[in-house]
Structure 1
Amino acid sequence: MLSRIAESLFWIGRYVERADNTARLLDVHLNVLLEDPWVDEPTANASLLAVMHVPVEGTATRETVLQSLATDPQRSSSITGTLGAARDNARRAREVISTEVWESLNTTYMQLGARSRTPRPHDFFLWVRERAAVVWGLHSATTSRDDAWNFMELGRSLERADMIARLLMTKALAGTTGPNWTTLLRTCSAHEAYLRTVRALVTEERAAEFLLIDRMFPRSIAYNLDKAETTLTLIEPGLSRHSQTDQARLALGRARTNLEYEAIDEILADLPAQMRHVQQACAMASDIIRDRFFLPSSSVLWSQEAV
């Protein structure tokens, strides 16, 4: 597979997943602001923007949060920006993705302007989640399990682990004014799965354990770190111990085992640092994948100009 195609597929996976999880995170954030009149809104907004690595000048208002994370088409952290970038990458990888996947991304992009201007942000977030589900459903139903599938799933797994870590960081940084664990489970579409698996009321330790290290639930951090490791093996089998790809697997494996073999109460006592470690592992793996499989930007530009 051409490196430019592999790179586009990788970023389609990341951008669609980022849009989905950003919508979930904003939805729970706005719900907390609406339901609890005692919340220090500027501080809560600033904490959320800090978790998403969005710089802010002055007081962080609700409008600032929505502009930066939902409607600004120029930001790679915003829903509008990520869905636009996903569509652009799909256009570049048009020769390998199915017509159904392309049409779903293109339709989503064409409807973004009208949908994002709704006076009810929750309706927009619900629509984004539904459109992401449509893309992933069509991707699953129409893509052969070859390298095209693997690169898209690799991007999706890394982004999901990173975004769930950010969601849990918002809970830790907000403290008692943040969303409760039942709300976090619902935000991750995990509440019903939790009840079936744990068969007990929601407690902090059990809910955190489910979202962090459950190996069967597809939105847990450990599940996605493990899936990214496995996908790397499928993309480049027979790895040597010192290969670049193996270094990416080692970074992801260390982050996963740190969660799986540490007591849950110790993780909760230092949750922000633990989640930053997960994010750093995902960022390191992403950088290694870029250097190993994708062309430098200058080479891509030169190839496009030559064509």
Structure 2
Amino acid sequence: MLSRIAESLFWIGRYVERADGTARILDVHLERLNQLPLNEQRTVSANLLAVMGATPGTQEDGPPGVQELLARLAFDTAQANSIAGSLAAARENARRARETVSTPVWESLNATWNGLAAHRQDVVGTYRFCSWVIERTATVQGLADSTMSRDDAWQFLSLGRSLERADMTARMLATGDEQAFRLSWVNMLRCAGAYESFLRSRRAAFGESFAAEFLLLDRLFPRSVVSSLRQVEQALIALDPQYHRTGAMDQARRLVGQARTFLEFHHTEDLMAELPEHLERVQAACAGASDAITAKYFSQAAERAWTGEKI
């Protein structure tokens, strides 16, 4: 497989998952923001932009408000970490890998990109926009899973999706950790689509510590950090099965494996106190693994027409 095709598939997976994760985070926070005084709206908006890696524009009147939050995280196509920017970038990468991506996946991405302009750029419109994005990204991912052979093309797509999912779940937990956000554990779980799964697994055990533990450590829930990191490892092994008697030599596998095993085998009496440290470690591992994957598999030619990570 050409490196440019592999890179496009990797970033299709990342951008689609990024749009989905950002839509989930924005949707659950907008419900709160509408009920806060203006000063608190600005504080929460600025913190949320920082957590999501979106650089706010120059504000002469103080911290960014809800309207800039919507523009930066939902509708700004120039931002690779906004919903619209991620979907546009996913569609562009699919166009470049058109001979490899299945027709249903391409048509779904193209239809999603064409539908971006139909949504209003206000709070009410953004609620519907986030729900629409979650449905569209689920459609794209479902079509990819059901119409693509489990060859290297699908592995690169799955690799990008799983790596981004681990990062986005860590960011979502970070938005619930800050005092300024004050998210309830119910909203935290619903943000990840994990509420029903959590109730079935925990039953009578409720509280923010249990919710954070579920989203961070549960091995069976596909959006948990540990499960996502395990999926990254499986994709890396499928792409390059290594047989060394002295351990894994692949840098990306080493970073991801270290992050996953630390989470799985680290015991703590107070998870919430250590949560920021865990989330920072996960995000650093995802960023390092992305760089290692790029260095190993993708062309570094200066003249290439599109780039990967922009955050």
Please state how far the C-alpha of 1:191 moved relative to its aligned partner. 0.5
- Tell me, in whole angstroms, the C-alpha distance in 2 between the residues paired with 1:127 and 1:103: 16
Note if contact 1:236-1:245 (Cα within 8 Å) is conserved in structure 2: no
Aligned pairs (5 A) from 1:87-236 = 87-117=91-121, 119-174=124-179, 177-236=181-240
Match of 1:14 in 2: 14
Q: 1:116, 1:25 → 2: CA distance?
A: 19
Candidates 86, 92, 97, aligned match of 2:90: 86
Shift of 1:270: 2.7
* Aligned residue identity for 1:9: L
State the aligned residue count. 300
Residue of structure 1 in register with 2:265 after alignment: 261
SS in 2 for 1:296: coil
Q: CA distance change for structure 1 residues 297 and 79 in 2, over 3 Å: closer, same or farther?
A: farther
Q: Cα RMSD between the aligned structures?
A: 2.0
Equivalent residue for 2:241?
237
Q: Take 1:84 and 1:264, find their aligned partners in 2: how far apart are those partners? A: 42
Once the two structures are overlaid, the 10-residue window that deviates more, 258-267 or 157-166, is 258-267
User: Contact (CA 8 Å) 2:23, 2:83: kept in 1 or not?
Assistant: yes
Q: Which runs of 5+ in 2 are unaligned?
A: 306-311
1:47 to 2:47 alignment: yes
Provide, for residues 87-142 of structure 1, a one-character-per-residue CA deviation record: whole Å limited to 9, x for no partner: 00001111111110000000000111112546421000000000001001111110
* Residue 305 of structure 1: aligned partner: none
Q: Normalising by the residue count of structure 2, what TM-score does the alignment of the two structures yield?
A: 0.91
Per-residue deviation, 1:208: 1.1
Give the residue type in structure 2 aligned to 1:232: L
Structure 1 pair 63/99, CA: closer, same or farther in 2 (3 Å)? same
Contact 2:102 2:147 in 1 (8 A): yes
Q: Is the 8 A contact 2:70 2:121 kept in 1?
A: no
- Alpha-carbon distance in 2 for matches of 1:61, 1:45: 6
Deviations along 1:59-105, whole A, 9 cap, x unmatched? 21001111111101111011111000000000111111111000000
Structure 1 residues 10-32: Cα deviation after superposition (integer angstroms, max 9, x where no partner): 00000000000000011111112
Q: Which has the higher helix share?
A: 1
- After TM superposition, the score normalised by the length of structure 1 is 0.92
Decide which moves more: 203-212 or 125-134. Answer: 203-212
After TM superposition, the structure 1 stretch with the greater mean CA deviation from structure 2, 242-251 or 77-86, is 242-251
Greater Cα shift, 267-276 or 211-220: 267-276
Cα distance per residue 1:26-45 (max 9 Å; x no partner):
11111121345598211111
Aligned residue among 285, 289, 297 for 1:281: 285
Instruction: Verify the 8 A CA contact 1:245 1:288 in the aligned structure 2.
Output: no
Q: Bigger CA drift: 260-269 or 56-65?
A: 260-269
Q: Check whether the contact 1:48–1:170 (CA below 8 A) recurs between aligned residues.
A: yes
Q: CA deviation at 1:263?
A: 3.1
Structure 1 range deviating more: 10-19 or 242-251: 242-251
Pairwise CA distance, 1:296: 0.6
Q: State which drifts further: 10-19 or 28-37.
A: 28-37
Matched position secondary structure for 2:42: helix
Instruction: Give the aligned residue type for 1:7.
Output: E
Q: Which runs of 5+ in 1 are unaligned?
A: 302-307
The code of the aligned residue for 1:10 comes to F
Are 2:264 and 1:271 equivalent residues in the alignment?
A: no
How far residue 241 of structure 1 moved from its aligned partner, in angstroms, is 7.7
Q: Is the contact between residue 119 and residue 126 of structure 2 (CA under 8 Å) also seen in structure 1?
A: no
Q: Which amino acid aligns with 2:111?
A: T
Q: CA-to-partner distance for each residue in 1:149-174, whole Å, 9 max, x for gaps? A: 10000000000000110111111113
Shift in alpha-carbon separation, 1:227–1:163, aligned structure 2, 3 A: same
Residue 201 of structure 1 deviates from its aligned partner by 4.4
**1-side partners of 2:249 and 2:129: how far apart?**
38
Alignment CA distance shift 1:44-1:229 (3 Å): same
> Which amino acid is the alignment partner of residue 42 of structure 1?
R
**d(CA) in 1 for partners of 2:248 and 2:54?**
30
In structure 1, C-alpha distance between the alignment counterparts of 2:268 and 2:64, rounded to whole Å: 33
With over 3 angstroms needed to count, the CA separation of the structure-2 counterparts of 1:239 and 1:297, relative to structure 1, is: farther
Deviation at 1:243, TM superposition (A): 10
Residue identity in the other structure for 1:64 = E
